[in-house]
Structure 1
């Protein structure tokens, strides 16, 4: 089904379009397909939370529960194309809900549990969500904004973490998962909606440098589109036990330990930290108990794990089954790469991508890895480095990474209800990523930065505009700029430069007050970890803030060595366990 029949000149062994059928429903394929493949009794999910609760869900149970819920959603009014907002922590119910919405022909919307009420309201209103599925501990933000969301017709509640809690004002998720809730069709008679493989399946909201978050529309064929990534980057094998510590509101775990994992028929370890910070010791315990083989995380997580591994208490945990590591969300510097190999005996494979097109360039298990490099284009993916006029840059020069849109079936369809922004990122035949990279003589890609001002911190993409807008709501703030700042553990963190209104004195208590003000209004991961008062922001002649100068200032101040980050010459390393 490839529209042109072309593939990348250096990757002729794989055409990603060959596996894309015309009709495909990801909800049915990822559950019913596994049952038909003989995995009905195999654990799909091994779940724990921070309070010690545990559950196991088989592929057969996942199929049955999601089918029952899909029927019930249709019974209460869900129509094909309707959107369903998921405000859920890392629970098996997230999988059931997303798969059910897809089976019913709807569009599911993952969201972070960290979002405050204004962020929830924006996504509900922008998407025109028909329903929201939410746990009781996260219900308050939805209740606060529901009256201002005219399209929201249903609020479905999961009693959690108090599982016996009754919420009579709303529909109970578990009741909707019963086979007898929608009696007009028996489960045996009911069929999932016959979707086209190019029909929308989910929205992943992402931030840019200006304006509001954008809903990235992905299609039902999404899991099929990344078979080469599953094989060469994740290296999933049917007996593997896979995990990602990030919450399911973000695309990395939605892809890696949901869609790709179910596509591969593996078992997923799912952990709900219950709003607690990432704890390496907890994860060492999970590795030990469940014999995790494949792990996907941002470099920040690996650095925290390495720091904890130096503690004598870490020696009691058995990580010997861990054989594969994937890294994404932020650059993987060469020194971190080597440290992971020394500490854990696995070779981390870095990859680069965006919400619009997940990991289009990556290091592979079957090729030498150049530490600090983000690898090469995935099989079948056509990538060029172009300048701002979409002209090729000279060999070795920096350019904007652009993906030919018809070469990758996993490319987003569009930004939800934002045709003008869709036109900006799709220019002719190219998807313009905004990532600035260079290539070496062997064709490896080396990340240099962003053409825009998007902040990549601790694995998150953060809009400086959103942070600055919140800062400027404080009565003492005249104007502000947010940039990424080097950090030894997290790689990069958010730093704010603040200009105060006339007559207001800069001091530490005020800085703390402003940071708390912001923390109460936007998700914690977006909040500045550092704040500096300055007399004036650097501006262009047209009055635009020159964030680049502030970023460069921070790099110099930290004596930050760019070489490992962007990838200088280094001896290649063979992927795989080091022992």
Structure 2
């Protein structure tokens, strides 16, 4: 091992798929990667075929594809079994009229049924819409209404959160359970599988430009937006899985994210299976003992999680991990928010591995800026551009800034993983490309002389809490639906564990007085209608909110500056006097 502190943390002396970064950059051509796929010769394109079916046809049907662990429950499936199961569920979908391009939503816990339901939709050319199991009624409704969901796969517990009668395009609800668990109008998927013969040739072939999955991501204003990805993204996802995640055929790969989030689908399903690895699924909530136990029991070799999770493990102390055999671990990655240097050093000292930060977005389809296992890490940096990706720091006129200067983090829009469209919102899609040929990320950063990128913050008001992207507008909108709340402003407040927490500033209606009970009621109102990660962890009552004089827009930066005792900057448009605290409850 060759590790060093200071400006660089040197790589472990191991063999990796990508050894010479500079050589890869200089010689890279995306077309060379296409030769890996069967469609390069056949012309027949299907993401699930490349992830599952081809492995069976190439003689790897008996290889373990899924190792599911949830407490005492443990299930294993080979690639051959997974092919048969996806064929079978896809056959049921077709029985109920699902055709190429139809939207199939999956609202299930992180278990094999969830993964199979997603893959079965893509296998027959439908567009899969996976939903995070923590979503509540309105988050679900917004997404399903927006893109006209035709079929829903859920279970008898989560299905109760879905306002089915308010989604006019929804024709079929399949419950991953038995008939006695179904409500009126619902259909037992398990019974259908018993009564339906799987079509082994159910697969639908398409083109690289066909959409296959839609993930919704919140914006700083308005409803969540549907980011549609095309099958061409598999080129990007396969190679980043190989070079960044360093996946080899004998690896046991665990991504802790739910496939309702883009990380959980791209780097929880596609990238590892495109590289023929075994995927670990953990069905429970975070628990340090359980997580360490899973690494030991499954023999996890590659582990992909979020900075919040690593900080929570750090908080458990330096001895807990000694109760487990973690020697199988060889590569660890992080995503969702900037990785603090302390976590990298903790992993080196306690787990004998480096944590490799990665940067990408729902819209980008795969890794863009990364730390490779064979290359030095600069703590605090997101890493360097993936070969074939051109990254630049641009000013507000779209001109490239010199190294060391902070500006807009932008990417040349000429790589295969970039989103196909924003569903039913071409204006929003075009807004990402204000400078010809460049995707503008919304992040601010600078680049050093060696090409390492350092994140400096968002140029909007998005909140990043424990790796979840939260729209302040969405939370504010829900807050003011509570009868006691007249106005609301929401910010992200720095937090050592979660990166940021949601903090809400509210003005109460004239008939209400602040109390701990009332503010807890308001917090639970948001939690129960949106999700737990949207619920404010702090609520502060003010006499008035800072708003612009002309438009009445809430000035969140003034709230944040006031909270952190910083200079709020130009307040010439501010309407009203000095902010006055009435009450605060954490």
What TM-score comes out, normalization by structure 1 length? 0.88
In structure 2, what is the Cα distance between the partners aligned to 1:255 and 1:235?
Answer: 15
- From 304, 311, 316, the equivalent of 1:308 is 316
How do residues 214-293 of structure 1 correspond to structure 2 at under 5 angstroms?
A: 214-273=225-284, 277-293=285-301
CA distance in 2, matches of 1:330, 1:554: 22
Counting only pairs closer than 5 Å after superposition, residues 83-232 of structure 1 correspond to structure 2 as 83-142=103-162, 145-159=163-177, 165=181, 169-177=185-193, 181=196, 187-188=199-200, 190-232=201-243
CA shift, 1:55, in A, is 0.8
CA separation in 2, counterparts of 1:341 and 1:550? 38
* Residue 84 of structure 2 is aligned to residue 73 of structure 1: no
Shift of 1:246: 2.3
**How far apart in 2 are the matches of 1:226 and 1:131?**
27
Alignment of 1:331-350 (within 5 A): 331-350=338-357
Equivalent residue number for residue 497 of structure 1: 505
1:375 and 1:438 map into 2 onto residues whose CA distance is 11
Task: Name the counterpart of 2:459.
Answer: 451
Q: 1:261 to 1:472 in 2, by over 3 A?
A: same
Whole-Å Cα distance in 1 between the matches of residues 465 and 23 of structure 2?
34
Q: CA deviation at 1:555?
A: 4.4
Asked if structure 1 preserves the Cα contact closer than 8 Å seen for 2:90 and 2:202, the reply is: no
2: CA distance, partners of 1:440 / 1:422: 30
Q: Which 4+ runs in 1 deviate beyond 6 A?
A: none
Moved more, 166-175 or 148-157: 166-175
The answer (yes or no) to whether the contact 1:16–1:379 under 8 Å persists in 2 is no
User: How far has the Cα of 1:155 moved from its partner?
Assistant: 0.6
Match of 1:318 among 306, 309, 325: 325
Q: Distance in 2 between matches of 1:550 and 1:39?
A: 57
Q: Structure 1 residue 154: deviation in Å?
A: 0.7
Tell me how far apart the structure 1 counterparts of residues 561 and 273 of structure 2 sit (CA, whole Å).
43
Does the 8 Å CA contact 1:67/1:187 hold for their aligned counterparts? yes
Please tell me whether the aligned partners of residues 16 and 228 of structure 1 are also in contact (alpha carbons under 8 angstroms). no
Partners in 2 of 1:163 and 1:436 — Cα distance? 52
C-alpha contact (below 8 Å) 1:309/1:315 kept by paired residues = no
Alpha-carbon RMSD across the aligned residues, in angstroms, is 2.2
1:577 counterpart residue number: none
Q: Which has the higher contact order (CA 8 A, sep 6+)?
A: 1
In structure 1, stretches of 5+ residues that fail to align are: 1-7, 558-579
SS in 2 for 1:18: helix
- CA distance, structure 1, for counterparts of residue 326 and residue 560 of structure 2: 38
Residues 210-264 of structure 1, C-alpha deviations (whole Å, 9 max, x = no match): 0000110011222321233212321111111111222221111111121111111
Change in CA separation of 1:61 and 1:470 when aligned onto 2, cut-off 3 Å: same
1:43 and 2:64 matched: yes
Match of 1:572 in 2: none
| Deviations, residues 136-161 of structure 1 (Å, cap 9, x unaligned) | 2111122xx212211111111102xx
- Alignment coverage as a number of residue pairs: 536
Deviation at 1:356, TM superposition (A): 0.3
User: How many angstroms does 1:394 deviate by?
Assistant: 3.2
In 2: Cα distance, 1:177 partner to 1:390 partner: 55
Match of residue 422, structure 1, among 423, 426, 429: 429
128-137 vs 332-341, greater mean Cα deviation: 332-341
Contact 1:211 1:465 survives alignment (8 Å): yes
Q: How many Å separate the matches in 2 of 1:336 and 1:476?
A: 41
- 1:64 equivalent in alignment to 2:72: no
Length-normalised TM-score, structure 2 = 0.87
Counterpart pick for 1:16 among 14, 21, 30: 30
| Aligned pairs (5 A) from 1:337-486 | 337-357=344-364, 358-406=366-414, 408-427=415-434, 428-486=436-494
51, 60, 66: which one pairs with 1:30?
Answer: 51
Local SS of the residue matching 1:260: helix
Structure 1, 445-454 or 69-78: larger mean CA deviation: 69-78
Q: Distance in 1 between matches of 2:278 and 2:564?
A: 42
Rounded to whole Å, the distance in 2 between the matches of 1:445 and 1:548 is 25
Looking at structure 1, the residues matched to 481 and 187 of structure 2 have their Cα atoms a distance apart, in angstroms, of 37
Whole-Å Cα distance in 1 between the matches of residues 45 and 496 of structure 2? 45
3-state SS of 1:318 partner: coil
Contact persistence 1:377–1:383 (CA under 8 A)? yes
Partners of 1:540 and 1:516 lie apart in 2 by: 30
Give the Cα–Cα distance (whole angstroms) in 1 for the partners of residues 492 and 203 of structure 2. Answer: 45
- Could you tell me how far apart the structure 1 residues matched to 2:346 and 2:505 are? 33
Inter-partner Cα distance in structure 2 for 1:553 and 1:321: 48
Alpha-carbon distance between aligned partners in 2 of 1:10 and 1:320, rounded to the nearest angstrom: 30
Q: Provide the C-alpha distance between the structure 2 equivalents of 1:210 and 1:341, rounded to a whole number of angstroms.
A: 40
CA distance in 1, matches of 2:50, 2:193: 19
User: 1:474/1:169 Cα in 2 relative to 1: closer, same or farther (>3 Å)?
Assistant: closer
1:103 Cα offset (Å) = 1.4
Contact kept, 8 Å, 1:456 with 1:462, in 2: the verdict is: yes
Change (3 A) 1:174 1:295: same
Cα 1:238–1:475, aligned 2, differ >3 Å: closer, same or farther? same
Select the residue among 553, 564, 573 that pairs with 1:544: 553
8 Å CA contact 2:237–2:266 kept in 1: the answer is no
